[in-house]
Homo-oligomer: A and B are copies of this chain.
Amino acid sequence: MNHPTPPQAALMRRPLPAPVAEALQARFGDRFTTSAGVREHHGRDESPFPPAPPDAVVFAQTTEEVAEVARLCNEHGVPLIPYGAGSSLEGHLLAVAGGISLDVSQMNRVLAVNAEDLTVTVQPGVTRKQLNQEIKDTGLFFPIDPGADASLGGMCATRASGTNAVRYGTMRENVLALTVVTADGRVIRTGTHARKSSAGYDLTRLFVGSEGTLGIITEVTVRLYPQPEAISAAVCAFPDMGSAVRAVIDTIQLGVPIARVEFVDALAIRAINRHDRLTLPESPHLFFEFHGTEAGVREQAETVQQITAEHGGSGFEWATRPEDRSRLWNARHNAYFAMLQLKPGCKAVTTDVCVPISRLADCVVETERDLVASGLPCPIVGHVGDGNFHVAMLTDPDKPEELELAESLNARLVARALAMGGTCTGEHGVGLHKMDFLVSEHGEDALDVMRAIKHALDPNGILNPGKIFRPSR
């Protein structure tokens, strides 16, 4: 598969009906635009696909405005694509059937911090860094960290997770309630502020991960956690990938409540060393973070140190001082940019899979073999405590054969993960890029159930059309 043509380019695309443009212009004034620059910006994401700009962009500021736009689009059959921070990776935002990009980045207020309940309600455009900044005096924090400074609405839409998920769960576990605008412009609340409920269908978790295809999220209530009394970090080198991954498996199976455990392969270490002026040995590493009481953190770290030693880990290096921890984790966070510099001018085709942890070592080792044989530089990093890892395939955008090679590596990686009982995406979502793999993962009968739900909630097919699955078998 080559990239210049997104898989859904065949979707019928017609110009924005004049009455819609006029109504939006009248209603939103400056906050409605058809300028080429803004459209172009809203028709791209971090995926390898070329941009597919919408016909127009609306900047909404309230739930009621979102509902008005939905009603208008629904009436005229105009595609409507919610847009947050633009950091998604699999083509989610591309307007493959044209229509309106509904930008909610101006809906960026923290609406209510309920410190006693350990919850917060925000508008969808609030980003995770902004949220943590605004609540830092409460002694609480929001742990989900997908790397990019994504919006909370977008993180709901893709069921994001990241480095802390091994301890704190993903968006699936941490969203308590949503306000959602339906395709026909009704405003519903899903969930309550109670921790748990058995009151009817779990609409909250249906919208989480629906990638804008079932409704538009306009408020999000998430769980917060007490900032841990103590935090420490450690880094440890391993002779090979298998040993590193087996140390993680033992740690998880022993029930050590680690807050983070990240795998970084030798190539990614080389990138990080250059980018962050570190001098880590160029071999596979694990980065750990421990949260708890002073004594608890020490105990966890000692247990893990012992496990790593049993697997040939060396140079288990502690960092309890905040500045040392930051240096280490900044390096991990910068890995994406660091890796891009391994091949000047390259673009990364990033992908993620997630497998049962017992198969993680096999999956990583077989994948590395395949990547090395390809000749493309493809560093691997991963949230290995969940069985989740990422490959960044560094391709020259002027060489279509490299993109093609990356796609074939990606396809084999997904096939390998599925054969091991895993999933084609642990946290990036489906978008355009993984639609075909969804058939292999779930089977057509389960996809038919998803299609039936889509049709029931969005009969005119206006919400982010052409994503997740094809409309029919």
Enumerate chain A interface residues (CB-CB to B < 8 A). Answer: 114-119, 158-161, 165, 169-170, 172-173, 182, 186-190, 192-203, 205-206, 208-210, 214, 225-226, 228, 249, 252-255, 257, 293, 295-296, 299, 354-358, 386-388, 417-418, 421-430, 434, 437-438, 441-443, 445-450, 452-453, 455-457, 468-469
Contacts of A159 in B (CB 8 A): 196-198, 202
Question: A194-B426, A423-B197 given as contacts; is B188 within 8 A of A446 (CB)?
Answer: yes
Contacts of A423 in B (CB 8 A): 192, 194, 196-199
B172 touching A202, Cβ below 8 Å:
yes
Report the separation of the CA atoms of residues A354 and B117 in the bound assembly, to the nearest whole angstrom: 13
Question: A187-B445, A226-B255 given as contacts; is B199 within 8 A of A202 (CB)?
Answer: no
Between A and B, 30 residue pairs with Cβ closer than 8 Å are: A115-B253, A117-B356, A172-B205, A186-B448, A187-B445, A188-B442, A188-B443, A188-B446, A192-B423, A193-B421, A194-B356, A195-B357, A195-B388, A197-B423, A198-B209, A198-B426, A198-B428, A198-B429, A199-B429, A199-B430, A200-B442, A200-B447, A201-B206, A202-B209, A226-B255, A257-B257, A295-B295, A295-B296, A452-B456, A453-B457
Contacts of A455 in B (CB 8 A): 456
Report the separation of the CA atoms of residues A452 and B197 in the bound assembly, to the nearest whole angstrom: 21
B200 touching A208, Cβ below 8 Å:
no
Report the separation of the CA atoms of residues A354 and B194 in the bound assembly, to the nearest whole angstrom: 6
Report the separation of the CA atoms of residues A467 and B434 in the bound assembly, to the nearest whole angstrom: 37
A443 touching B189, Cβ below 8 Å:
yes
The distance from the CB of A65 to the nearest CB of chain B, in whole angstroms, is: 18
Contacts of A358 in B (CB 8 A): 114, 116-117
Q: Which residue of B lies closest to A418 (CB)?
A: B192
Report the separation of the CA atoms of residues A116 and B293 in the bound assembly, to the nearest whole angstrom: 28
Contacts of A468 in B (CB 8 A): 200-201
Q: Which residue of B lies closest to A435 (CB)?
A: B200
The distance from the CB of A189 to the nearest CB of chain B, in whole angstroms, is: 6
Query: Which 9 A-B residue pairs are closest in the complex by CB-CB distance?
Result: A226-B255, A116-B358, A456-B456, A197-B423, A205-B205, A193-B421, A452-B456, A194-B354, A188-B446
Question: A296-B299, A449-B457, A456-B455 given as contacts; is B189 within 8 A of A354 (CB)?
Answer: no
A422 touching B193, Cβ below 8 Å:
yes
The distance from the CB of A220 to the nearest CB of chain B, in whole angstroms, is: 15
Question: A116-B249, A293-B299 given as contacts; is B194 within 8 A of A422 (CB)?
Answer: yes
A200 touching B189, Cβ below 8 Å:
no
Report the separation of the CA atoms of residues A249 and B165 in the bound assembly, to the nearest whole angstrom: 25
Question: A188-B449, A254-B226, A456-B455 given as contacts; is B194 within 8 A of A387 (CB)?
Answer: yes
Report the separation of the CA atoms of residues A254 and B292 in the bound assembly, to the nearest whole angstrom: 11
Report the separation of the CA atoms of residues A426 and B176 in the bound assembly, to the nearest whole angstrom: 13
The distance from the CB of A253 to the nearest CB of chain B, in whole angstroms, is: 7
Report the separation of the CA atoms of residues A254 and B189 in the bound assembly, to the nearest whole angstrom: 29
Question: A118-B253, A189-B446, A443-B188 given as contacts; is B209 within 8 A of A196 (CB)?
Answer: no
Contacts of A434 in B (CB 8 A): 199
Question: A226-B255, A445-B188 given as contacts; is B450 within 8 A of A196 (CB)?
Answer: no
Q: Which residue of B lies closest to A431 (CB)?
A: B198
Report the separation of the CA atoms of residues A426 and B427 in the bound assembly, to the nearest whole angstrom: 28
Question: A192-B422, A253-B226, A357-B117 given as contacts; is B295 within 8 A of A203 (CB)?
Answer: no
The 8 Å CB contact of A456, one of B115, B254, B430, B453, is: B453
A202 touching B203, Cβ below 8 Å:
no
Given contacts A117-B356, A159-B196, A195-B356, 18 further A-B contacts (CB under 8 A): A115-B253, A116-B357, A172-B196, A188-B442, A189-B446, A193-B356, A194-B355, A194-B387, A194-B388, A195-B388, A198-B209, A198-B429, A200-B442, A200-B469, A201-B210, A201-B450, A201-B453, A226-B253
Report the separation of the CA atoms of residues A169 and B172 in the bound assembly, to the nearest whole angstrom: 12
Contacts of A200 in B (CB 8 A): 209, 430, 438, 441-442, 447, 450, 468-469
The distance from the CB of A331 to the nearest CB of chain B, in whole angstroms, is: 25
A386 touching B456, Cβ below 8 Å:
no
Report the separation of the CA atoms of residues A249 and B158 in the bound assembly, to the nearest whole angstrom: 32
